[in-house]
Chains A and B, each alone.
Chain A
Amino acid sequence: MVFKRYVEVGRVVLVNYGPDAGKLATIIDIVDQNKCLIDGPSTGVARQVIPYGRIALTDLTVKISRNARQKSLTAAWTEADVLAKWESSSWAKKLAAKKKRASLNDFDRFKVMVARKQKSSIIAKKMKEIAA
């Protein structure tokens, strides 16, 4: 199995677990086989050592040198336009949809149910047309 996303300095990661869960950060330095140093000044993640089990590698990377300062990190992020690229990825969109679905209230759920029924009736009508 060929690996496509590598743990490297500059790899943008999504924190999965802990108080910063759901936020993006970058790998600044690698400590050992199990943990690395991450930092995310643009997303509010403090510079910290974190085990790999708590992060997920994304497709994005930024050009920084090892142990880059927060200032140069922020500059590299804006240059690579990481946040915009992330938001347009289907991964980020799926996460946002999940969050929205969990935050719906009873009235919203009713409206979603009605919208789904309308959508399926439009599709069914069209299918009938095509089948005929």
Chain B
Amino acid sequence: MTKLIKLAKTPVAATSGGKYYPADDVKNPKPNRKSNRNAPKVRGSVTPGTVLILLAGRFRGKRVICLKVLASGLLLVSGPYKVNGVPLRRVSATYVIATSTKVDVSAVDVSSYDDTYFARTEESVKGDIFEGDEPKPAVVSETRKVDQKKVDAALLKVVEGTPMLKAYLNAKFTLTKNDRPHKMIF
């Protein structure tokens, strides 16, 4: 039986005709067969309207309201900004304690916010690492300010509907001497 020898695939030639091929091997990338089309899995205790305690990051210790679970699995969260200074922000569910306090956020429209809204733009990335001595202050775009006002207008109405909730969101979470976090019900 004759042995069949596979002909090595010649790399895709830059020139049509096929007489010459590039000196270095050109790799053909294999097609990506990944398709992550499932909804993001997040703890059952984290739902839109839950008050969350942020445990890490710039706003650690703050109590915020969860607005939405984004497609990437991150949570869309807002202070509200007027109450505790936390803007519309993405937050990882793994660095959050979900309390059992919930508010009704069905009246707050957050359908237009998704992961692409928070993607870094060209202007924000620009700049050499070694350029300048002081870190430049963060510039908040006007669209962000407008969107913040829009979302918070509806959110504040809900927050003010529950007694003491505004003061609660303004207060920071801390552990004090006799607290036993493993025994505390959140």
Contact = CB atoms under 8 A, between A and B. Distances in A.
Interface string B170-186: 01010000000001111
Interface string A85-107: 00000000000000000111111
A114 interface: yes
Contacts of B167: 110, 114
**A102, A103, A107, A114 — which one has the most chain B CB atoms within 10 A of its CB?**
A107
A111 to B, nearest CB: 6
A114 B166 CA distance: 13
B99 interface: yes
Contact of A102 (B173, B183, B186): B183
Contacts of A114: 164, 167
Where chain B touches its partner, the secondary structure class is mixed
Provide the main secondary structure of the chain A interface.
helix
Contact of B99 (A103, A105, A111): A105
Given A114-B164, A114-B167, A107 B101 contact: yes
A107 B99 contact: yes
B164 A110 contact: yes
Given A102-B185, A114-B164, A107 B51 contact: yes
Contacts of A102: 183, 185
A106 B171 contact: no
Contacts of B165: 107
B67 interface: no
B171 A105 contact: no
A104 B99 CA distance: 11
Interface in A5-26: none
Nearest to B162: A107
Contacts of A109: 184
A52 to B, nearest CB: 29
Contacts of B81: none
Minimum-distance CB pairs A-B, first 5: A107-B101, A106-B99, A105-B100, A110-B168, A106-B186
10 contacts: A106-B51, A106-B53, A106-B173, A106-B184, A106-B186, A107-B165, A107-B168, A110-B164, A111-B164, A114-B167
Given A106-B53, A106-B99, A109-B184, 18 more contacts: A102-B183, A103-B185, A105-B99, A105-B100, A105-B101, A105-B186, A106-B51, A106-B63, A106-B173, A106-B185, A107-B51, A107-B101, A107-B164, A107-B168, A110-B167, A110-B171, A111-B164, A114-B167
